[in-house]
Structure 1
Amino acid sequence: MSTDASRKPNYNRRFLWLALFIVVLFGGYSAGWFYLAGKLENEARANIANLNRNGVVAECTNVSARGFPFRLGLFCDRIYFEDARQGVSIATGSFRSVGQIYDPRHLVGELDGPARIDVPQIQPLALDWGNLRASVRLAQPLPQRLSVEGKELHARTVTGTELATIKTFESHMRPNGANIDLASSFSDLTLDPSVVGGRTVPPLSGQSDITVNNGVQLINERVQSLRGQSGTIRMLDLSTGESTGLSLTGTFSVAQDGLLDADLRVTVRDPQGMATSLGNAIPELRKQIQQGFMALAILGDSPSMPLKISRGKATLGFIKLGRLPPLQ
């Protein structure tokens, strides 16, 4: 037998080459991660600097990129924005955003409270929350999907006066061809009596599912007027209890002069329960409310009626409701 055939494989050399390969691979990956992190920090600082002009002050305190080795995102200790011309300022707690290295187009961000919001003509607001998170899947020309969700939101004046609380809330936006789909929901919205003129309003919950026609173009052009817009309401729902509430579906359009046209359908769940809730909230109209909803109760537990609006003139079934003012 030849000596070559009897020679044993050199496992030590193979192990050495494997170890060297892993070191080089990890070192190259690490260098690439820190390169991208530095580039992300520089771009963030440049974008913030570009905002600081024409009376605008924007701050992202101690901005840094973190998440090594498998994530990459921006962190700030504090967010501050002020537009002196508009008289608006917002100050919040820390901010965190992160994306997975293997899926960089999907970003998630979290914002900590409390926050102070100053806008003209109202008292400064103090907001706090248990959790506030946003996620976005990037695409062109608009994100494929944008979502915001939170829980345990408390709204007060900066002097401590309670205004409202919300147990949970969320909203979503996505392009649908040339249109934009918008969906949102909230639960257990409690309004302090001081906000509604001393009235007692039951905890409210709601849902919406709306499509805005040509919404992609409207967002790209930053159109702020409702005039000339149209869409479909698949669901617009407000609940005052587990089985009590109102829902609205149908289509709408707004003319260039601001007058609304709509072909809608209104459904009332538990008319007697709605009469009680509205009567408690508007005691001066309790008798009229009870009479109106008593007539609806004859039609069943969830009566439904057409709501037509033509050039601003609204009619519910055969009842003329009046004229709506032009929308802006």
Structure 2
Amino acid sequence: MALSSRTKAPDEKLGSKKSRLVKVVIILILLALVYSAGWFAAANYATTKLEHAFDGDNPLASALDCPGMRMSGFPLHIGLNCNKVPINDRRNGITGSFGAFRSTAEIFRPGKIKWEIDGPAILQTSTGLAGSFQWESLRSSLSLGMNGIDSSATTVHTLQANLTDAVSGRVLRIDAADGRGRLQRDGEDLVGTARFSGMNFGQDDRNPNLPAMAAQIDLKLLGQAGALEIDHPEPIKLRGLSGEIRDLQIDMGQGRTIKATGPISIDNSTGLASGTLKLEISKVDAWRDLVIAAYPDTRDIAKLAAKGLKAAFLGQNSGQVTLQITNGVVVLGFIPLGNIPPI
């Protein structure tokens, strides 16, 4: 009886396996080509967006540059690298530069971007205030939404800052062991929070005998959420800015604390600050002794201020008082403290 089918010869089986293997290889090559094309298309899109951010139409209306811009990270990341970041903010009169910049976004986690920047940062303002900043590390992460940045979180370690007033020649030095900050939308408003620990201060060549300080702030800027847009960010104008200090805390240890809340604003024409802050001061006598130990030449002023505060607190060592700022003039209760220069 004749067979209706025959067994395949060994050569035919081998040929069939080779054919399937070739098909699999071709499919893998095509997938790799498609993925590579997609990666480079995404990198090109990211570069275009970042170039737009560096062309002056960014949240601070600053003209930023990215010398040596290059993309990296293939195949699982998209990274942008700059040799340094010069800044020329004509609107707010700020010029300067930062060190090398690096950012990365994971392909499989869209909307999440991490970046870091090297020091030093050198900034100069049109009012004569100059600053130099150095740090061990400064890193941030961004969460992107449909219209722009929903929130960002930043950490800095071992910060050293020098602020110089060109008019008086005075230099203020600020060091901090660690710092954390966050920006996020709140409807039409922009909310920023920051906390620093291990802070120390010095002025000119003096190092006052002050303990390390911890400070934190929760600040709302009214109507400024547009600064986090990507395609059409709305510049933040320092003059005409208004907001609210929702929580400001300064802690010098041993129960010496100051807390402040209240509205603040900057005049659109003069650049002078105004505001009414409610202060809660704990251990007035301890603050007095601390100031006298650090600045002996302020002994009489410190004693007078402490006496005035305790009178306002009905003889108590802690209480509440109003800090009134009117066109840059600062008055604590009925005690004049000085002037804030225009911005």
Aligned partner letter, 1:70: L
**Alpha-carbon contact 1:279-1:290 (below 8 Å) kept:** no
Shift, 1:148, TM fit: 2.9
Counterpart of 1:76? Answer: 82
Partner of 1:274 in structure 2? Answer: 287
Range moving further from structure 2, 109-118 or 266-275:
266-275
Alpha-carbon distance, 1:276 to partner: 2.2
Deviates more, 1:15-24 or 1:173-182: 15-24
1:187 aligned partner: 197
Q: What is the correspondence of 1:1-328 to structure 2 with a 5 Å cutoff?
A: 16-41=22-47, 44=50, 59-82=65-88, 88-120=94-126, 122=128, 125-139=131-145, 141-156=147-162, 163-194=173-204, 199-216=208-225, 220=234, 222-226=236-240, 229-231=242-244, 233-241=245-253, 243-249=255-261, 251-252=262-263, 262=276, 264=278, 266-283=279-296, 284=298, 285-289=301-305, 291=307, 299=316, 303-305=318-320, 307=322, 320-321=334-335
State the Cα deviation string for residues 96-140 of structure 1 (Å, max 9, x = none).
011111233222211112333344565864432101123222336
**1:279 is paired with a residue of what secondary structure?**
helix
Instruction: Verify the 8 A CA contact 1:89 1:117 in the aligned structure 2.
Output: yes
1:72, 1:100 within 8 Å by CA — same for their partners in 2?
yes
Question: C-alpha displacement at 1:183, in angstroms?
Answer: 0.8
Q: Which amino acid aligns with 1:209?
A: D
Determine the C-alpha separation between the residues in 2 that align with 1:309 and 1:299: 22
Shift of 1:22: 2.7
- The Cα of 1:44 is off from its aligned counterpart by 5.0
Give distance in 2, aligned partners of 1:91 and 1:255: 26
Counterparts of 1:139 and 1:16, CA distance in 2: 43
Aligned residue-pair number: 312
Q: How far apart, CA to CA, are the structure 2 residues paired with 1:35 and 1:255?
A: 44
- AA aligned to 1:172 is R
Q: Which amino acid is 1:32 matched to?
A: G
SS of 1:62 mapped into structure 2:
coil
**Any unmatched runs of 5+ in structure 1?**
none
Counterparts in 2 of 1:106 and 1:5: CA distance versus 1, 3 Å? farther
- 1:288 maps to a residue whose letter is L
Query: Counterpart amino acid of 1:247?
Result: K
Which SS does the other structure have where 1:60 is aligned?
coil
Q: 1:182: how far off?
A: 1.6
Which piece of structure 1 moves more, 206-215 or 177-186? 206-215
- After superposition, the CA RMSD in angstroms is 4.6
Equivalent position amino acid for 1:225 in 2: R
Structure-2 separation of matches of 1:239 and 1:116: 29
User: Per-residue displacement from partner, 1:232-284 (whole Å, max 9, x unpaired)?
Assistant: x33110112263221123x43659898956473x3233444323222224432
Deviation of residue 154 (structure 1)?
A: 1.9
8 Å CA contact 1:151, 1:168 repeated in 2: yes
The CA deviation at 1:70 is: 1.1
Aligned to 2:167: none
Normalising by the residue count of structure 2, what TM-score does the alignment of the two structures yield?
0.69
1:22-66 per-position Cα deviation (integer Å, ceiling 9, x unaligned): 332122101221233345446656775779xxxx98542221100
TM-score (structure 1 length as normaliser): 0.72
- What is the rounded CA distance, in whole Å, between the counterparts of 2:255 and 2:37 in structure 1? 59
Deviation at 1:6, TM superposition (A): 9.0
SS at match of 1:36: helix
The CA distance in 1 between the partners of 2:214 and 2:266, in whole Å, is: 31
What secondary structure sits across from 2:204 in the alignment? helix
**Unaligned 5+ runs, structure 2:** 165-170, 228-232
